Amino acid sequence: MAASEGPLVVGVDSSTQSTKALVVDAATGRVLASGRAPHTVSAGPGRESDPREWWSALTDAVRQCGDAAREAAAVSVAGQQHGLVTLDAHGAPVRPALLWNDVRPAPQNAWLIEELGGAKAWAERTGSVPAPAFTAAKWLWLRAHEPDAAAATAAVRLPHDYLTERLTGYGTTDRGDASGTGWWAGLTESYDEEILALVGLDPDLLPRVLRPGEVAGTVRELPELPFAKGTLVAAGTGDNAAAALGLGLRPGTPVLSLGTSGTVYTVSRQRPADPTGTVAGFADARGDWLPLACTLNCTLAVDRIAALLGLDREAVEPGGGATLLPFLDGERTPNLPNATGLLHGLRHDTSGGQLLQAAYDGAVFALLQALDLVLGGEGHGDGHREGTDADLARPEAPLLLIGGGARGTAWQQTVRRLSGRAVQVPDVDEPVALGAAAQAAGLLTGEDPAAVARRWGSARGPVLDPVARDEEALRRISALLADSGPLLGRLAD
């Protein structure tokens, strides 16, 4: 291991399908060691994972870091958002966790919105109109379909909470991840007792929400991990909030993240409140806000189309008039939880590569539709946000492209062609894990974690010049979505 210039920290990203760990020099941001381990997701009808697999993957990924992990002075865990982890009185999972992309709670979610007074009331109170992905709807689904499991639950956690608690022994969360549950209100920055009563959840079952910069605890005696007992553990956060830290994101800078899900977000100093539900008014991990729009179908859906066609994911071809909406898991933006994939405009001369390009176009289109709303542009619900950021990025500012798809040429070119904007691809490979590492470093230095990441220069990377927008492709996709939206919304009725 190369010599370090400062103390070492570990950042962990427990995502939908794998866990990544980085050992980082807190002084320079240099990654000294890394590890990665997979975990499984059920194939249906819902999307579930055993939380114990996350812990096994975390320990495996950290052990792969070798001696560097043994020298860590602090650790932080970021994780996939919204998942419902139910624990019994001994801290063991009652059942597999319901993941963010499980849309079975759509009926419970619709009831929840109406019961509290509609979408506008939710947006003003919590900052977001809940979606089936939100934890509150998942808890209602569990109570309705598995009442014995709900009754056996002695603690409710989010994925990153579960892992942090296994490290420290204490039940904690942070404002960023808590803001995606549906029962944490941005208006008061606390759990909302009326909403908890509405969903039938005892607040004593929930973790304590830590303040930004607060320590979650210290590492317990854990023989399966190389950490020394007493190593500091940061609050951790959700994956998108961690990526914002890892990029050192400033207010108004737009980010497009291409992962299993796709997200568009920015940091804002003002609390968002979009009554249409397109933009979720999440908190960030620092004390600001993270307006965000999310799609369920991104890289995984496009890879599935490529596999069905027997093509490499980069084997796209231009031309053709086919349009493909790759809503293979239902969709969240637009709000069509019952949707399936839809192909239109197939002809004898349509090639497989053109179909694959159509899948990329459909996945990117939904994200770009929400971009102006995320940045506070026209059409943001009723036009309301609690003020606007003075330093919102100019329309010509590059999109920061991150996530598993960001290095793919087909993804890069599709985003450029459909957005008409320059695209910057930061050199950092794991922004979520790096953001967790920056949060851990902030515990040691007393710095703002985003300032730590800026000092590290983590957002540096090549800028791809803008190209003319493909208005014809945008028109085709928009028309198909408008014509087919009502049908897609009814498919599972």
State the catalytic residues. Answer: 239
- Yes or no: say if 133 and 84 are a contact pair by the CB < 8 Å rule: no
- Yes or no: say if 285 and 242 are a contact pair by the CB < 8 Å rule: yes
Among 424, 426, 465, 467, CA closest to 318: 467
H or E segment and range at residue 106: helix 106-115
Backbone angles phi, psi at 255, to 5 degrees: -125, 135
CA distance 466 to 396: 9
The beta-strand segments (E) located in 16-107 are: 18-25, 31-38, 48-49, 72-79, 85-87, 97-98
Cβ neighbours, 10 Å, residue 117: 11
The beta-strand segments (E) located in 51-187 are: 72-79, 85-87, 97-98, 155-157, 172-174, 184-185
CA distance 347 to 47: 35
Residue 476 to residues 159, 278, 343, 386, 482, Cα–Cα distance (Å): 39, 21, 12, 35, 10
Among 228, 237, 225, 239, CA closest to 172: 237
Residues in the chain: 493
In the numeric block, the tokens 């007992």 are attached to 229
- Yes or no: say if 329 and 101 are a contact pair by the CB < 8 Å rule: yes
Helices (H), 251-351: 299-309
Residue 308 to residues 103, 316, 364, Cα–Cα distance (Å): 23, 14, 20
Which token pair is 75?
């650790």
